[in-house]
């Protein structure tokens, strides 16, 4: 595979993974680096990613994840968890980190003061929704990185987020689970979706040009 189109054609939402095949730590780290490097609004990166390999925890997550087999059959389960809210402390930490790398700059200070003025008065649900949307940018980067490495994955929203939060103790960390991404390898001949053609809207249906 050499082109982006080839990668996107090769990948699919893998429904059946081979539990005997393990993704190398080198490849997992490359996917995590793609997540780390993904852009986010105002550079806040308002989420954390948990790499779950513990069998017992994955069994519990599967119970509240519509019994999707990939959760336990994958090699590594990534759990994307977004901030439950923006706070002055969290925004100040982003600014401090940026100044550590780029040096102090009045423009940076003012920008993040303005950000606090815009975010901190909003309802926590609005802020969490905004943070959650940032995780999907990173999720897309993770999926493309996985395809480049010929690692299969399947993005999932089909789970009880409150139950996953409880299983993983996320509430105490000020986080809420948003999406799951099992990483592994397709089980040839056992996945009903693999031989199916991709179904996508035509360009004419999806894209409208305003000139």
Is the distance from CB of 59 to CB of 164 less than 8 angstroms? no
The per-residue pLDDT for range 65-117, each reduced to its tens digit, is 999 999 999 999 999 999 999 999 999 999 999 999 999 999 999 999 999 99
Whose CA is closest to 153, among 172, 137, 140?
140
Quote the CA–CA distance of 143 and 13 in Å, as a whole number: 10
Task: State pLDDT tens for residues 166-200.
Answer: 999 999 999 999 999 999 999 989 999 999 999 99
Q: Are residues 174 and 74 in contact, defined by beta-carbon separation less than 8 angstroms? A: no
* Residue in this structure with the two tokens 């790499």, named with its chain if needed: 51
Q: Is pLDDT above 90 for 2? A: no
Average of pLDDT values for 131-136?
A: 98
> Structural domains in the chain?
4-86+122-206 (3.40.109.10)
Structure token pair of residue 189: 């001949």
> Are residues 43 and 94 in contact, defined by beta-carbon separation less than 8 angstroms?
yes
CA distance 52 to 63: 15
User: pLDDT (tens digit, 9 = 90+) per residue, 14-42?
Assistant: 999 999 999 999 999 999 999 999 999 99
0.85 exceeded by pTM = yes
- Looking at every residue in the chain, the average pLDDT score rounds to 97
| Contact criterion met (CB below 8 Å) for 40 and 130 | no
Radius of gyration of the chain (CA): 19
Q: What is the pLDDT of residue 133?
A: 98
The pLDDT-based confidence of 1 (bands split at 50, 70, 90) is low
- Going across the sheet that includes 76-83, the strands are 47-52, 76-83, 175-184, 152-153
**Nearest CA-CA partner of 156 in 88, 89, 62, 83:** 62
């Amino acid at each position: 595979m050499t082109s982006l189109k080839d990668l996107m054609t090769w990948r699919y939402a893998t429904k059946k993974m081979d539990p005997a095949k393990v993704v190398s730590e080198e490849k997992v780290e490359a996917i995590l680096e793609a997540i780390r490097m993904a852009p986010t609004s105002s550079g806040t990166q308002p989420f954390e990613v948990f790499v779950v390999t513990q069998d017992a925890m994955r069994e519990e997550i599967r119970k509240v994840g519509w019994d999707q087999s990939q959760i336990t059959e994958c090699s590594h389960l990534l759990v994307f968890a977004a901030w439950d809210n923006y706070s002055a402390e969290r925004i100040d930490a982003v600014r401090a980190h940026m100044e550590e790398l780029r040096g102090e700059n009045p423009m940076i200070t003012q920008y993040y003061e303005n950000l606090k003025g815009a975010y901190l008065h909003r309802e926590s649900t609005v802020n969490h929704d905004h943070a959650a949307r940032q995780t999907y940018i990173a999720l897309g980067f993770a999926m493309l990185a996985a395809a480049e490495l010929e690692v299969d994955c399947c993005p999932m929203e089909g789970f009880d987020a409150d139950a996953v939060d409880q299983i993983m103790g996320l509430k105490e960390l000020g986080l809420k689970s948003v999406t799951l991404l099992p990483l592994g390898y397709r089980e040839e001949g056992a996945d009903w979706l693999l031989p199916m053609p991709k179904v996508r809207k035509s360009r004419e249906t999806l894209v409208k040009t305003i000139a």
